[in-house]
Structure 1
Amino acid sequence: MKSGQKIKLGISIGDLNGIGGEIVLKTFDDSRMLDFCTPVIFASVKTLSFLKKHFDLGINIHGVDEVSQVIEGKINVVNVWKENVNINFGEEDPAIGKYAFRSLEAATKALKNDEIDVLVTAPINKNTIQSEDFNFPGHTDYLAKELEGDSLMFMVTDKLKVGLLTDHVALKDIANVITPQLIEKKIEIIHKTLQQDFRISKPKIAVLGINPHSGDNGLIGKEDETILKPTLQKIRDKGKLVFGPFAADSFFGSKNHENFDAVIASYHDQGLIPFKTLSFGEGVNYTAGLKKVRTSPDHGTAFEIAGKNTANINSFKEAVFKALEIYKTRKEYKKLTRNPLKKQGKKI
């Protein structure tokens, strides 16, 4: 991004039979959003014109064939395809999955090439997007491969941040996947993310146990005693403020999470059920650990309401604002770390 230019915010359109197109267009139906960024949607003018008409929106879209042609102050649409697309709201369709991937692929390439500054992804259908080119459980793993980083699913609001040791892993495999090396790597990612992306200089991190009641001293599984506790102690010995393991069943209900800057759950539902219960519609899925900034809303394709003009845009809008905020914070952090004398007297 050149000095004086607005942040170029890339958007992958997601599954067109879901609510992705609706929440994207309705977010930028508010013209004030263009004061904060230059949106670049990877799809096609024909497809978005159909969606605009279906949802009775009066916004103007600016079609381009290359990102270099985008214009500030307009809702830019990069024509990744030009043919008509047969949209049937609420249906799983492998043909629509191919368009979801084409959008994501083009947006990711633009992000890698610094043609856009950040990426916000609309929800995909994880079944219909599968192909030889996309053989991943979700966005996070695909982006980790394409952007060559150690990714971590980090669900965030201003008051609650929950990371995962394991994300899309079957429950029966959790205990075998969680190793000392994995724990150290994920905690390091979150620690660095809290510093460089959220201005927290000395993060306090809580870790939830693997087994019920964190194993009850080995009575309900040995993993907390043999793997988690000694690894957390090793990390503490290096100076990081890492606490736990805590029993997951009472941790959020007792509001213990309010005492920490972030919480690390051992597996997907252990972290996402309380997160979405406490903050659904406001939460953002942030892919930590990458050199680039990517966010998404905290919900899926919502086929049951797709096309009905009732989708809530709050989480997608929050994902946009969070991507912009993190991008700016990370740039500031890099400047400060390059010029350490400037940090004196300031909280990073």
Structure 2
Amino acid sequence: MAKESSQEWQEAEPHRVVVIVDENSNPFELGCATEVFGLRRPELGRDLYDFRLCSPEPRTLMRDGFFTLTGVAGLEAAEEADTLIVPNRPDTEVPRRPAVLDAVRRAHARGARLVGFCSGAFTLAEAGVLDGRRATAHWQWADDFRARFPSVRLEPDVLFVDDGDILTAAGSAAALDLGLHLVRRDHGAEVANAVSRRLVFAAHREGGQRQFVERPMPDLPDESLAPVLAWAQERLDAPLTVADLAGRAAVSPATLHRRFQAQLGTTPLTWLTRERLALACRLIERGEPRFEVVARRSGIGTAAHLRSLMRRETGITPSAYRSRFGPGVK
């Protein structure tokens, strides 16, 4: 999770998210942005974001001519964005429009948050805002990206990179991971979990999880971890161990480790720790004032361990988290 404060992104009015759509843009990532930031959330009792699409042309032909996008705002809408999601497209060797790159540079100069999904990292790099910064992109373009933008610190084997005011995601579904990460960063774990439930998508995959690159399919794929994960999530306050999880899954601890790495990109112990931290965050958001109770009910143990874990994983203390995402905070 980001070490920077998320308070700067919380506004009295809904945070303005603008997506630039350009010729040959990918519909999938556009759909991800719309699902996460564009839909109304009446079950939450408030709008999370003010969402708009914009384009440098009145008619924009999407990837491979699948459809033509019309009726969206002009590129001037990017000037009002608090968060600007830049164009991505498969023809990474084709330069972006100068007007689009200028809009990205102006947004960065005035302090807007910039987001690139998949090949959107190429747009950010062309605009010059990634020089000396961390970023990721789809693994299949890693070599080309490094060759063209050697000053960017590319991390090609992760789902997404949060570098404060510039965030990038690897291909396709990682756009949803980064989108939910931003919701969590802006509005807390409880709201992010509510959005993920609407999407029927995993609530939290860490940005550092490895991308799923091409590899031979196993002859007998592992069984789903879903049953043991659901069982553990109902017992986070208990002193669960990796051996307990393995016993529930009726496999050896070594086999369980292999399945976690293959299916979730992490270890059982790391997953368990992050689930407990997510539960602790939800308890704070729901108004539990006693951190020792939060620590006990989430299985973290002590208030001191809770403070240490939250500092390590979120960069802030439990008290700071409560001031930003506790009851009554808008």
With normalisation by structure 2, the TM-score equals 0.36
- Between Structure 1 and Structure 2, the one with more strand by share is 1
